[in-house]
């Protein structure tokens, strides 16, 4: 069997997705992967079309590990988000082909089911504590057992993730002159620009413990709650937050520090028993290893779409298992249904699975990219069809051409740059 074509489809059914379709010389046998990198979609599409696709034509799609090694080590230049997202798109499509060829769902090829359903979480948010509480109640009524909670911070315009839905939290903003929450313009020239938010640590650190005090008071102890810091704190600020949140028993505290700060997790650990999760900005197993071997985190939550796909994620899961760390793979709206399906296939086959982030895709995404995992009573399921169970409708994709879009940016009150 040989690869005959690598098709790269960029489409915008409400937001941009980069889809990889690998065709083979076996009639009707193809695989579908996702290679979406929010805000840098065309860089990945170009890497795939210009640099990677020509290397794959004529190769045996069964040799996933060898192709992975070739695309990772072959170019000499290692990793980074663009290359690892492109590699993930290829990897996912190859696993889809392998499953279809074997007549088995991918979770079977990865070792078989270790559970009957995949515990999922969604997002709640609001502009004040009561709005967040109401949103959590709605999510509980919809069947969720675990809910991430974000709230607007007094004095911080456009605080990340207060829109509620996971889709809102992972939104990009289409280019728009003057599109700025704070009225501050990124370039000041009136040209296309991302939304710019304002953020200060002091009001944030005061507000978040009070939010969870309110939620525990109103909602009791049974519902699992947690919070995403989105890499905005310094090590000592993160230690303070984790310590002050201890009484509210969070499921975990997500992404406290920037991805470069691995050794600083020791400081947080020394001060608190709040469980810690980290990883959506990591690009390889080597980013994870220091946190795993020292047991500095409790949940590893890389994005399969940005670390090279199932092949790399299963290796990370196995290293994590050795150190009693559970998986919680990133599952925002800015990765496509094929990657969400890959998450859930791997979750099913992972003994040390912890939890899965999920989104509900809008109708246009289902039309273009059918087969996303389904949610019922707190748990996700995937199709038992051979492969991943997702597809791409190329005619429908063509109706929604690419639209340039940026992630928001954040600045401090004095105008200096902050991490979004």
Binding span for ligand CS2 by CB under 6 A among 129-137, 188-196, 329-337, 394-402: 329-337
Burial status of residue 407 (CB atoms within 10 A of its CB: 0-12, 13-18, 19 or more): middle
Measured CA distances, 41 to 16, 32, 37, 251, 313 (Å):
7, 17, 5, 32, 22
Applying the rule CB under 6 A, the residues between 221 and 250 that interact with ligand CS2 are 228, 230
Q: What is the dihedral of CA 256, 262, 268, 273, to 10 degrees?
A: 90
Q: Does 336 bind ligand CS2 (CB under 6 A)?
A: no
Cβ 275 to Mg ion shortest distance, Å: 15
Q: Does 357 bind ligand CS2 (CB under 6 A)?
A: yes
Q: How far is it, in rounded angstroms, from Cα 250 to Cα 316?
A: 24
Q: Does 41 bind ligand CS2 (CB under 6 A)?
A: no
Cβ 228 to ligand CS2 shortest distance, Å: 5
Residues 6+ apart with CB under 8 A from 66: none
Residues 6+ apart with CB under 8 A from 19: 8, 9, 10, 11, 32, 33, 34, 35, 89, 336, 338, 369, 392, 397
Q: Does 167 bind ligand CS2 (CB under 6 A)?
A: no
C-beta separation of 372 from 382 below 8 A: no
Interaction partner, residue 357 (ligand CS2, Mg ion, none; CB < 5-8 Å by kind): ligand CS2
C-beta separation of 418 from 411 below 8 A: yes
| CB-nearest residue to Mg ion | 228
**CA 397 from chain center: how many Å?**
22
Nearest to ligand CS2 of 228, 391 (CB atom): 228
Binding span for Mg ion by CB under 5 A among 8-16, 226-234, 373-381, 394-402: 226-234
Catalytic residue among 30, 107, 121, 160: 160
Cβ 319 to ligand CS2 shortest distance, Å: 22
- 11, 38, 85, 343: which one binds ligand CS2 (CB under 6 A): 38
- 135, 228, 231, 347: which one binds Mg ion (CB under 5 A): 228
| CB-nearest residue to ligand CS2 | 170
| 299 phi and psi angles, rounded to 5 deg | -135, 130
Cβ 280 to Mg ion shortest distance, Å: 5
C-beta separation of 276 from 268 below 8 A: yes
Q: Does 334 bind ligand CS2 (CB under 6 A)?
A: yes
Is residue 160 among the annotated active site residues? yes
Nearest to ligand CS2 of 68, 299 (CB atom): 299
C-beta separation of 292 from 319 below 8 A: yes
Binding span for Mg ion by CB under 5 A among 22-30, 32-40, 220-228, 409-417: 220-228
Q: How far is it, in rounded angstroms, from Cα 161 to Cα 124?
A: 9
**CA 227 from chain center: how many Å?**
15
Interaction partner, residue 227 (Mg ion, ligand CS2, none; CB < 5-8 Å by kind): none
How many helices (H) and strands (E) would you count in the chain?
15, 18
Catalytic residue among 230, 271, 306, 345: 230
Q: Does 167 bind Mg ion (CB under 5 A)?
A: no
**CA 287 from chain center: how many Å?**
16
Binding span for ligand CS2 by CB under 6 A among 94-102, 311-319, 330-338, 385-393: 330-338
Cβ 389 to ligand CS2 shortest distance, Å: 23
Contact positions vs Mg ion (CB under 5 A): 228
Mind telling me the catalytic residues?
Answer: 160, 230
Contact positions vs ligand CS2 (CB under 6 A): 38, 169-170, 228, 230, 280, 330, 332, 334, 357, 407
């Amino acid at each position: 069997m040989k690869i005959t074509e690598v098709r790269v489809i960029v489409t915008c059914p409400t937001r941009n997705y980069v889809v990889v379709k690998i065709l083979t010389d076996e009639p009707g046998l193809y695989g579908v992967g996702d290679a979406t990198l929010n805000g840098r979609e065309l860089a990945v599409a170009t890497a795939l079309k210009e640099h990677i696709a020509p290397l794959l034509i004529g190769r045996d799609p069964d040799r996933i590990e060898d192709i992975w090694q070739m695309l990772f080590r072959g170019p000499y230049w290692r990793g980074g988000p663009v290359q690892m997202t492109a590699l993930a798109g290829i990897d996912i499509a190859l696993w889809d082909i392998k499953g279809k060829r074997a007549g088995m769902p991918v979770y079977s090829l990865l070792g078989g089911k270790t559970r009957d359903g995949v515990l999922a979480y969604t997002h709640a948010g609001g502009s004040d504590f009561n709005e967040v509480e109401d949103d959590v109640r709605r999510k509980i009524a919809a069947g969720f057992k675990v809910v991430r909670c974000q709230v607007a911070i007094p004095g911080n315009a456009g605080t990340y993730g207060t829109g509620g839905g996971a889709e809102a939290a992972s939104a990009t903003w289409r280019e728009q002159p003057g599109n700025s929450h704070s009225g501050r313009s990124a370039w000041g020239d009136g040209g296309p620009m991302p939304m710019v938010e304002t953020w200060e640590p002091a009001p944030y650190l005061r507000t978040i413990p009070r939010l969870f005090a309110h939620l525990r008071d109103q909602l009791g102890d049974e519902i699992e709650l947690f919070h995403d810091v989105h890499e905005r704190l310094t090590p000592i600020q993160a230690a303070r937050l984790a310590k002050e949140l201890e009484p509210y028993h969070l499921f975990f505290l997500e992404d406290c520090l920037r991805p470069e700060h691995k050794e600083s997790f020791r400081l947080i650990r020394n001060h608190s028993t709040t469980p810690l999760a980290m990883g959506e900005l990591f690009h390889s197993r080597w980013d994870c290893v220091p946190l795993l071997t020292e047991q500095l985190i409790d949940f590893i939550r890389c994005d399969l779409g940005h670390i090279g796909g199932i092949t790399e994620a299963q290796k990370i899961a196995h290293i994590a298992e050795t150190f009693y760390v559970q998986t919680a793979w990133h599952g925002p709206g800015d990765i496509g249904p094929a990657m969400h399906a890959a998450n859930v296939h791997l979750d099913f086959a992972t003994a040390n699975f912890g939890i899965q982030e999920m989104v509900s895709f809008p109708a246009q995404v289902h039309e273009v990219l059918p087969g996303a995992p389904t949610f019922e009573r707190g748990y996700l399921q995937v199709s038992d069809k051979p492969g991943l169970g997702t597809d791409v409708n190329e005619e429908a994709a063509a109706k929604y051409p690419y639209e340039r879009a940026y992630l928001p940016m954040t600045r401090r009150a004095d105008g200096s740059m902050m991490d979004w």
